[in-house]
Structure 1
């Protein structure tokens, strides 16, 4: 993936405006939601891996 190029999740589908996008930036990873492109989270690869692991484990699931 080239620097400064946002990549959308393969689960985004149809190019909608409700997608997670990521890109490398200076040895770090940036992530944003396509509905709020001005809000960017910057993290290390290890932090991103921990986030993905937590998401898969249901740590961020909320009961309504």
Structure 2
């Protein structure tokens, strides 16, 4: 039971972090051209896959074009 609660808390934390990153992603969609969106999606995905941003405390800052 204790482990279940622990995993639930961990999951919620990760979920909010993903939401936080996703808000940056929405910002990109609103403010970038299609080409830049595609590039930024690839960059975000690479960032998730290679650098594991959920483990770091560095916030996602979209680059203004």
TM > 0.5 between the two?
no
Q: Taking structure 1 as the reference length, what is the TM-score of the superposition?
A: 0.31
- Higher fraction of helix: 2
- Higher fraction of strand: 1
Q: Which has the higher contact order (CA 8 A, sep 6+)?
A: 2
Q: Taking structure 2 as the reference length, what is the TM-score of the superposition?
A: 0.30
